[in-house]
Amino acid sequence: MRTNSISSGRSRSVQPTPPAKGSVDAAIRAELAASEAGKVFSPVDFLHLGSRAAVDKVLSRLTATGALRRVARGLYDVPRTHAILGPLLPSADDIAQAIAGKGRLRLQPSGAYAANLLGLTEQVPMKLAFLTDGVSRTVHVGKQSILLKHTTPRNMATAGRISGLVIQALRHFKRAHIDGQVVATLRAKLKAEDKAALLADASLAPVWIADVMRRIAQDKD
C-alpha cells in the first residue's frame, strides 16, 4: 500500500527546481541591464539566480563576447567608453564595495584616501588603502592598486560611518600636522548630523583624535 510523507509521519523538504541554463543567462543579462553605470559585480551577486557553476559559465561567456569586462580576479563590470577619454575604469569605491559584498566584509577608507575623500587633500593616491576585518590583500585595477589591510576590531568600530572616515584622515595627518586649516575644512564640510556623530563616537578614537573631533563638532578651538 502506497503512503505519502504525511501519513507515514515523516517530513520531506521540497527542493526548489533549479533554473534552466538559458534562464540563468537571461536573468543575469536582465540584472546587468538594470544596474547603475559603473557598478562592479562578483559571482556572489548572482547566486540567487542559479548555481555557482552556472553563474560562472554565464559570466565567462559574457566576458568572452565583450558584454562584461573582468577588472580583477572575480570582479566584473559592464564596459563603458568615453568619447574623449576612451575606456573608463570603475571607481575605487565601486570596486571596494564589490569586494566587501563578495567576502561579507566591512571596509573603512584610510590613509591618504580618507583624507582625499574629506577634501583635505586634492590628489587621489595611486594606492587606495582600506582597513578591513577580512584578510589583507591587494587588488590591481589598471594602474591603480587597492590595498585591504586587516586591522583590530577597535579600528573597525566606526567603519562605514563619517566618524571612521574622520578618524582615519586625522590619523594620516598625524598629531603634529593637525592645524587650524584642517579643523576649519572639516567644520565647513560636515553637516550638523555628522558633527553629532563625531561627538557620539569620540570615545572610540585615540585621545588626541577625540579632542580634535570635539573641536570640529563644537565649532570652537
- Whether pTM > 0.85 for this model: the answer is no
| CA gap 186, 172 in Å, rounded | 15
| CA gap 149, 137 in Å, rounded | 7
pLDDT at position 88 is 84
pLDDT, tens digit, for every residue of 200-210?
A: 999 999 999 99
Task: Verify that 111 and 205 share a domain, yes or no.
Answer: yes
| CA gap 94, 40 in Å, rounded | 6
Name the more confident of 38 and 182.
182
> Backbone phi, then psi, for 95, in 5-degree steps?
-65, -45
Residue at 94 is within a domain: no
HSE at residue 117, side-chain half, CA atoms within 13 A, is 25
Task: Verify that 72 and 134 share a domain, yes or no.
Answer: no
Most confident of 8-22, 114-128, 199-213: 199-213
Reported as a pLDDT band with limits 50, 70 and 90, residue 22 is low
Name the more confident of 11 and 72.
72
| CA gap 3, 9 in Å, rounded | 10
Residue at 138 is within a domain: yes
3-state secondary structure of 17: coil
Give the domain extent around 65: 21-82
- Total domains in the chain come to 2
pLDDT at position 141 is 83
What residues does 190 pair with on adjacent strands? Answer: none
Task: Verify that 132 and 209 share a domain, yes or no.
Answer: yes
The answer to whether residue 139 scores a pLDDT higher than 80 is yes
Task: Verify that 111 and 70 share a domain, yes or no.
Answer: no
Stated length of the chain: 221
What residues does 75 pair with on adjacent strands? Answer: 72
Task: Verify that 118 and 44 share a domain, yes or no.
Answer: no
Query: What is the Rg, in whole angstroms, of the alpha carbon atoms belonging to the chain?
Result: 23
The answer to whether residue 9 scores a pLDDT higher than 50 is no
Q: Report CA torsion sign: 60, 63, 68, 70.
A: positive
Residue at 78 is within a domain: yes
Residue at 131 is within a domain: yes
Name residues whose C-beta falls within 8 Å of residue 137's C-beta, 6 or more positions apart in sequence: 148
| CA gap 128, 117 in Å, rounded | 11
Residue at 111 is within a domain: yes
3-state secondary structure of 110: strand
Task: Verify that 112 and 77 share a domain, yes or no.
Answer: no
If we measure between CA atoms, which residue out of 62, 40, 38, 58 comes closest to residue 49? 58
What is the CATH number for 52?
A: 1.10.10.10
Residue at 96 is within a domain: no
Name residues whose C-beta falls within 8 Å of residue 30's C-beta, 6 or more positions apart in sequence: none
Q: Considering 48, 82, 116, which residue would you say is the last residue of a domain?
A: 82
Q: For residues 154-164, give the mean pLDDT.
A: 94
Task: Verify that 123 and 213 share a domain, yes or no.
Answer: yes
Residue at 153 is within a domain: yes
Task: Verify that 29 and 76 share a domain, yes or no.
Answer: yes
pLDDT, tens digit, for every residue of 50-99?
A: 999 999 999 999 999 999 999 888 899 998 888 888 888 888 888 888 88
Task: Verify that 73 and 139 share a domain, yes or no.
Answer: no
Task: Verify that 60 and 131 share a domain, yes or no.
Answer: no
Task: Verify that 152 and 78 share a domain, yes or no.
Answer: no
Residue at 3 is within a domain: no
